[in-house]
Amino acid sequence: MDFSTGMRVSASGLTAQRQRMNTISSNIANINTTRTPEGGPYRRKDIVFEAIPDARNFGEILTSAPDLKTQRVQVTDVLVDRKAPLLKYEPDHPDANEDGYVAYPNINLMEEMTNMIQATRSYEANVSAMQATKDMAMSALEIGR
């Protein structure tokens, strides 16, 4: 248990939120994408967070039980949304099916925007936590001055 633990945990939060932000950006950018390498329209991506005990090695997991109450956050999975695509009648579109319908990604822009704000706020919270830990470490250096 030292200052680097707090910094490491906050840093993991920053990384996780940034990854979430990238996913949201990708969803927003591809809101009208009808063609993907896998075929079909773009499918909305969602990430899964998981709390993992903050240990540097396996020995620490075995020995130091109280320290492991600190948990890092990690993105463990990227889920692909399985919602049915939105069909729009656009017979002139090159990706239209034989009935003239084009499959568009089923992405709700409002939902993406709210998630984006949430990710930003969480990121800021982690930055504040890191700043606070840093302040503590800096003032500890002043002992005896």
Residues that bind other proteins (CB under 8 A): 1-3, 5-6, 9-10, 12-13, 16, 48-51, 54, 66, 69-73, 118, 122, 125-126, 128-130, 132-133, 135-136, 139-140, 142-145
CB of residue 47 vs other proteins: minimum separation in angstroms?
10
CB of residue 125 vs other proteins: minimum separation in angstroms?
5
Is the Cβ of residue 37 or residue 66 nearer to other proteins in the bound state?
A: 66
Tokens of 145: 């001055």
Is the Cβ of residue 53 or residue 103 nearer to other proteins in the bound state?
A: 53
Q: What is the rounded CA–CA span in Å between residue 142 and residue 145?
A: 6
Is the Cβ of residue 47 or residue 102 nearer to other proteins in the bound state?
A: 47
CB of residue 142 vs other proteins: minimum separation in angstroms?
7
Tokens of 7: 């910094």
CB of residue 107 vs other proteins: minimum separation in angstroms?
20
**Which residue matches tokens 């993907």?**
36
- The DSSP code sequence of 49-81 is EEEEE--SSHHHHHH-TGGGGSEEEEEEEEEEP
What letters, b where the CB count within 10 A reaches 16 and e where it falls short, cover 62-90? eeeeeeeeeebbebeeeeeeeeebebeee
Is the Cβ of residue 36 or residue 76 nearer to other proteins in the bound state?
A: 76
